[in-house]
């Protein structure tokens, strides 16, 4: 028997205005239950349901309070059936636009961010450390090829997409970061070029990775990406942003930030 | 000849933190050369192939999780894969769960036949206030290891605790010993008559291990979190803990250990300590940076951890003289230009070193790698030394640094062999400096007792073998560093 979401659990919840294709489906399936997020599937779409501290994800729902998330988690962890019902009639609560707009980068912030990221250690076994570093190091090349509309971007993306640890592999996080960085620096032609290549290669990654990559090509980024973007605009935000990013998965936050930083041209160098 | 074996878990989603922990743990088993736990995307399969880890004939889709083991023989590979499957089936991370029943909520814990009296909290900081409040409302004392907790939450939770006659130790509380039970990083020290209230984790550890060395022991060690004596928190838990120690029959001497408190809080604290001393209980206030004095009430105020431990030992009739490193420790070392670079895992140890070096006029930079800004989203450097090793490597390439000043903290919750990692990092940094034609001296002290699980003699020996100069206390290490740059402290 399907597990029922009780009335009131969605009070105060927010959803991604660009990712409501699952609205109207009365039953979802539980794909994964974590400490701060539950991933559901409805109508062929993934729906990340998150704790307020995690923030809203593309195509997802962010619950209004920690207590509500705790209640949902408790209900789902005790369920014997993967089906979740009770969404019928819910219209998405407060709808949030997860699009990133162009923002001026600060030279000091960008410099500081690059130095801090270079010093950032990678957790995990030695063989994995090298792999993650290689994937992060590929970000500047990908950004450059995208900006030059270079056809070699296809090969570069295919070697990165789906690569690395986790259900959203490191390479995917780096690519989401590059797409965010290109959006922030207002390089629409590069965004379009990279997006078209990424979409062609989505079958090379996991379903979760593809979900977030596709959203990024449509200019929908998780709220934590919006927070991370502060690091390139304000020097004082660099340390707190890096500290926050360390908390997203094993390496996801720093992978994403590495991609984002690589796609931001240093304003001083540009002026020169 | 190695064998490569795999197991595929169709459409299984697991957090990357969990998968990496499983791979790291399984890789340490005997006979296992390498373990990979990845989603079977084309890029990951190519990486496995390039590293000789792709099993022949593997058929898997990008949403499948594949565990690959390269082992010395078939048996080792099979056992490892079965162990991996058990971890994945149970959803547990090896080494992270206690044996026995796993309880997911405070409410679950309270339904046990033998309900708990204390909760330890080490969830990420943004969630700690929720769990902390649940624990207090359930009538539990709280030991809150989590850091990055907003100060407003700390003030609120401590008010709830005091109203309920409960301790809220923390947040960012590294050490406590309650009725002989060690919590956090506490060291294995004797039980005896000294009651310690500490707004400083490693400060309390240094004082307790120095007292242990003198033959004294600890009745209770109540950690209160590093911000307790700030103006905002106002010493709420320190003052409450002092009341508890006064009422504790096993406590005969009281010591307060803290970094410099806010002025108005220091006045209130000293007034309270005067009142305790007036009852005949010896009191030592070890407040870093305060001018040493004996107050009219008899309260002894000390400005370093070392002098605080000496005064406390004295108050129970024991002699403690940690002293300095032997005179020949720096034999062959020629002081030159450059500065001392302190890379600390213990915050109060870093503060003590900074004070001593500042007073000596020695050029230095001291970094506390256990500070919130370095620990958000990653283990404390006393648990995972990787971050400090990276900083040591960077120091090896910095021509301005001539002396590395380090701490090595042992204890229940600390890394099981921190000296090995530290020694390796120092050797590599010195090698790098040498390639640039420079000499780099490393000086350290070990904060640990002979009963600590890491083995104090073996840890010291590992550091000495790596050419690291050892001092008998953190203060002694700072003085030795000052001497090494030609400054007399």
* Rounded (5°) CA angle B58-B64-B66: 55
**In the block, residue with structure tokens 């192939």:** B49
> What ranges make up the beta strands (E) of B326-398?
339-344, 364-368
Confirm if B345 and B370 have CB atoms less than 8 A apart: yes
Establish if B248 touches chain A: CB-CB under 8 angstroms: no
Establish if B8 touches chain A: CB-CB under 8 angstroms: no
Establish if A39 touches chain B: CB-CB under 8 angstroms: yes
Distance between CA atoms of residues A244 and B381, nearest Å:
17
Closest CA to A34 of A252, A257, A183: A252
Distance between CA atoms of residues B349 and B405, nearest Å:
11
- Residues near A137 by Cβ (< 8 Å), separated by ≥ 6? none
- How far off is chain B from A52, nearest CA to CA, in Å? 10
The whole-model pTM stands at 0.61
DSSP state of A204: G
- How far off is chain A from B240, nearest CA to CA, in Å? 30
Q: Is B248 exposed, middle or buried (0-12, 13-18, 19+ CB in 10 A)?
A: middle
Distance between CA atoms of residues B228 and B195, nearest Å:
18
Establish if B63 touches chain A: CB-CB under 8 angstroms: yes
Confirm if B480 and B469 have CB atoms less than 8 A apart: yes
In a 13 Å sphere around the CA of B289, the CA atoms on its Cβ side amount to 15
Q: Which two structure tokens, joined as six digits, stand for B398? A: 């910095």
Q: Which two structure tokens, joined as six digits, stand for B60? A: 């898997």
**In the block, residue with structure tokens 């029959």:** B249
Q: Is the peptide bond before B171 cis (omega within 30 degrees of 0)?
A: yes
The number of helix segments (H) and strand segments (E) in chain A equals 12, 8
Q: Which two structure tokens, joined as six digits, stand for B347? A: 């915050």
Distance between CA atoms of residues A172 and A169, nearest Å:
5
Distance between CA atoms of residues A261 and A174, nearest Å:
10
Distance between CA atoms of residues A95 and B185, nearest Å:
46
Closest CA to B199 of B171, B219, B178: B171
- How far off is chain B from A148, nearest CA to CA, in Å? 25
- The tens place of each residue's pLDDT in chain B, 489 residues long, gives 789 999 998 877 777 767 777 777 788 788 888 888 888 888 888 888 887 888 888 888 888 888 999 999 999 999 999 988 888 876 444 444 444 556 667 877 887 777 789 999 987 777 788 889 989 998 999 999 988 888 999 999 999 999 999 999 999 999 999 999 999 999 999 999 999 999 999 999 999 999 999 999 999 999 999 999 999 999 999 999 999 999 999 999 999 999 888 999 999 999 999 999 999 999 999 999 999 999 999 999 999 999 999 999 999 999 998 888 887 888 888 877 889 999 999 999 999 999 999 999 999 999 999 887 777 666 789 988 888 998 999 999 999 999 999 999 999 988 888 999 899 999 999 999 999 999 999 999 999 999 998 999 999 999 999 999 999 999 999 999 999 998 875
Interface test with A, best of B9, B19, B37, B39 (most A CBs within 10 A): B39
- How far off is chain A from B95, nearest CA to CA, in Å? 15
Task: Give the pLDDT confidence of A161-201 residue by residue, as tens digits.
Answer: 999 888 889 999 999 999 999 999 999 999 999 999 999 99
Residue among A127, A166, A169 whose CB faces B34 most closely: A127
Segment 66-95 of chain A within 8 Å of chain B by CB: 66-67, 70, 74, 77
Distance between CA atoms of residues B387 and B209, nearest Å:
26
Distance between CA atoms of residues A31 and A54, nearest Å:
18
Could you give the 3-state DSSP secondary structure of residue B230?
coil
Segment 146-175 of chain A within 8 Å of chain B by CB: 158-169, 171
Distance between CA atoms of residues A26 and A44, nearest Å:
13
DSSP letter for each residue of B41-95: -HHHHHHHHHTT---TT----TTSEEEEEEESSHHHHHHHHHHHHHHHHHT--TT
């Amino acid at each position: 028997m399907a597990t029922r979401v009780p009335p009131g659990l969605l009070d105060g919840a927010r959803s991604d205005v660009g990712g409501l294709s699952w609205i109207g489906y009365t039953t979802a399936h539980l794909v994964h239950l974590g400490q701060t997020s539950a991933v559901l599937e409805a109508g062929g779409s993934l729906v990340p349901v998150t704790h307020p501290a995690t923030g809203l994800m593309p195509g997802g729902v962010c619950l209004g309070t920690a207590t509500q998330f705790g209640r949902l988690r408790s209900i789902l962890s005790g369920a014997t059936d993967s089906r979740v019902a009770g969404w019928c009639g819910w219209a998405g609560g407060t709808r949030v636009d997860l699009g990133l707009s162009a923002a001026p980068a600060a030279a000091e912030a960008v410099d500081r961010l690059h130095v801090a990221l270079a010093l950032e250690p990678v957790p995990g076994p030695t063989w994995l450390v090298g792999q993650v570093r290689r994937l992060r190091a590929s970000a500047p090349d990908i950004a450059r090829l995208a900006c030059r509309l270079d056809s070699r971007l296809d090969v570069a993306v295919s070697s990165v997409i789906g690569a690395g640890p986790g259900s959203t592999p490191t390479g995917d996080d780096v690519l989401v970061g590059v797409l965010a960085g290109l959006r922030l620096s207002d390089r629409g032609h590069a965004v379009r070029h990279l997006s078209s290549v990424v979409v062609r290669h989505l079958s090379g990654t996991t379903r979760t990775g593809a979900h977030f990559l596709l959203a990024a090509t449509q200019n929908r980024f998780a709220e934590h990406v919006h927070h991370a973007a502060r690091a390139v605009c304000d020097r004082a935000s660099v340390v707190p942003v890096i500290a926050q990013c360390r908390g997203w998965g094993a390496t996801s936050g720093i992978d994403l930030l590495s991609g984002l930083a690589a796609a931001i041209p240093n304003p001083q160098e540009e002026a020169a | 000849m190695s064998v490569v074996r795999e197991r595929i878990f169709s459409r299984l989603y697991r957090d990357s933190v969990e998968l990496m922990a499983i791979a790291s743990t399984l890789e340490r088993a005997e006979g296992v050369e390498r373990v990979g736990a990845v989603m079977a995307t084309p890029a990951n399969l190519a990486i496995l192939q390039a590293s000789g880890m792709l099993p022949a004939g593997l058929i898997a889709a990008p949403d499948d999780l594949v565990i690959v083991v390269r082992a010395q023989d078939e048996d080792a590979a099979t056992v490892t894969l079965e162990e991996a499957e058990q971890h994945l089936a149970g959803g547990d991370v090896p080494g992270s769960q206690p044996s026995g029943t796993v309880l997911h909520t405070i409410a679950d814990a309270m339904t046990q036949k033998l309900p708990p009296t204390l909760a330890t909290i080490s969830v990420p900081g943004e969630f700690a206030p929720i769990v902390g409040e649940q624990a207090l409302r359930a009538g539990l004392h709280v030991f809150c290891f989590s850091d990055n907790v907003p100060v407003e939450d700390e003030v609120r939770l401590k008010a709830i605790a005091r109203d309920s006659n409960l301790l809220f130790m923390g947040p960012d509380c590294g050490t406590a010993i309650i009725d002989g039970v060690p919590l956090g990083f506490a060291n294995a020290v004797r039980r005896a008559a000294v009651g310690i209230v500490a707004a400083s984790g490693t400060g309390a550890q240094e004082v307790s291990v120095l007292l242990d060395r003198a033959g004294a022991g600890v009745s209770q060690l109540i950690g209160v979190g590093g911000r307790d004596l700030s103006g905002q928190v106002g010493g709420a838990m320190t003052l409450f803990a002092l009341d508890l120690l006064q009422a504790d029959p096993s406590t005969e001497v009281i010591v307060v250990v803290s970094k410099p408190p806010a002025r108005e809080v220091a006045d209130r604290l000293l007034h309270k300590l005067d009142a305790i001393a007036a009852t005949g209980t010896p009191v030592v206030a070890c407040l870093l940076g305060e001018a040493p004095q004996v107050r009219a009430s008899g309260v002894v105020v000390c400005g370093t951890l070392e002098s605080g431990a000496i005064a406390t030992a004295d108050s129970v009739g024991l002699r403690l003289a940690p002293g300095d490193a032997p005179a020949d420790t720096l034999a062959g070392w020629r002081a030159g230009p450059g500065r001392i670079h302190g890379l600390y895992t213990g915050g109060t140890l870093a503060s003590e070193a900074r004070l001593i070096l500042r007073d000596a006029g020695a050029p230095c930079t001291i970094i506390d790698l256990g500070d919130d800004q370095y620990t958000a989203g990653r283990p404390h450097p006393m648990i995972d030394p990787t971050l400090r090793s990276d900083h040591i490597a960077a120091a090896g390439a910095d021509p301005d640094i001539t002396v590395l000043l380090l701490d090595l903290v042992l204890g229940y919750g600390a890394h099981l062999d921190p000296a090995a990692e530290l020694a390796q990092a120092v050797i590599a940094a010195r090698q790098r400096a040498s390639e640039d034609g420079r000499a780099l001296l490393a000086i350290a002290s070990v904060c640990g007792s002979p009963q600590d699980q890491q083995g104090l003699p073996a840890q010291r020996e590992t550091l000495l073998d790596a050419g690291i100069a050892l001092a008998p206390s953190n203060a002694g290490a700072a003085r030795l560093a000052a001497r090494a740059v030609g400054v007399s402290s």
